Amino acid sequence: MFVDVHAHLDDKAFDGDREQVLENIRAAGMLVVTAGSDVETSRFSVELARKYDFVYACVGVHPHEAGKAPKDYLEELKELAKDPKVLAIGEIGLDYYYEFSERRIQQKVFLEQLELAESLNLPVIIHDREAHQDTLDIIKKSGISRGLMHCYSGSVELAQEYIKLGFYFSLGGAITFKNAKKPKESAARLPLERILLETDCPYLTPEPFRGRRNDPTN
Ligand code: NI
């Protein structure tokens, strides 16, 4: 059985035909873990998981949304995480490529959510874009010891650090792109039992479907 460990089924790209996409996932006999990006989409993800037995959820505030997080966001996430179908806190992390939220705010919101995950005994789903050192430092500071480096784009050497910390990796559709040197190297050299499958849909559509909307059945 295939498990897509990182999808965004809440995304507006699915608004027109979400039920059909979900039926296709059911027909494919797979499981999907859908991740929130803020409080609202986290709540939506939990609702989807309640409605569909093959859907599981993660709740969290993405670094892009960190600057807009409401004051009580940790309380909200904690409440949502009580649902037994919530598997992790995510997607959380740092994004210095787009830097939609100030770095200082991203770091604060990231650490707070790592600490929340630790207190709830849940793993984390990490987004790290061009913020490798700070991501590693903050994870170490938090004491968290279980998680997934989603759409992993770091080096194999950095991956060894994460393996020591108890982390797993997913590479996503980027692995099919011609110029994706690091993901291909990671796939070749990381232990197979540390690699999970993800789409990050609707983003990162793999070849030969690139340019179209991605979905878990890819
Ligand atoms: Ni994602």
What per-residue confidence (pLDDT) applies to 30?
98
Q: Compute, in angstroms, the gap from residue 72 CA to the centroid of ligand 1.
A: 23
What per-residue confidence (pLDDT) applies to 116?
98
CA dihedral angle for residue 201, residue 9, residue 41, residue 125, rounded to 10 degrees: -50
Q: Compute, in angstroms, the gap from residue 14 CA to the centroid of ligand 1.
A: 15
Is the bond leading into 84 cis (omega within 30 degrees of zero)? Answer: no
Q: Compute, in angstroms, the gap from residue 21 CA to the centroid of ligand 1.
A: 18
Contact 101, 64 (CB under 8 A): yes
Q: Compute, in angstroms, the gap from residue 188 CA to the centroid of ligand 1.
A: 23
What per-residue confidence (pLDDT) applies to 162?
97
What per-residue confidence (pLDDT) applies to 13?
98
Q: Compute, in angstroms, the gap from residue 6 CA to the centroid of ligand 1.
A: 6
Q: Compute, in angstroms, the gap from residue 7 CA to the centroid of ligand 1.
A: 6
Q: Compute, in angstroms, the gap from residue 125 CA to the centroid of ligand 1.
A: 9
Cα distances from 141 to residues 80, 99, 146, 165, in angstroms, run 25, 22, 14, 12
Cα distances from 72 to residues 35, 89, 166, 180, 196, in angstroms, run 19, 16, 30, 39, 32
Q: Compute, in angstroms, the gap from residue 27 CA to the centroid of ligand 1.
A: 23
What per-residue confidence (pLDDT) applies to 64?
97
What per-residue confidence (pLDDT) applies to 46?
98
Grouped pLDDT means (10 residues each) for the chain, 218 residues: 97 98 98 98 98 98 97 98 98 96 97 98 97 97 96 94 96 92 92 96 95 96
Q: Compute, in angstroms, the gap from residue 173 CA to the centroid of ligand 1.
A: 12
Q: Compute, in angstroms, the gap from residue 32 CA to the centroid of ligand 1.
A: 13
Q: Compute, in angstroms, the gap from residue 200 CA to the centroid of ligand 1.
A: 5
Q: Which residues surround ligand 1, an ion (CB under 5 A)?
A: 91, 200
What per-residue confidence (pLDDT) applies to 200?
97
Contact 135, 99 (CB under 8 A): no
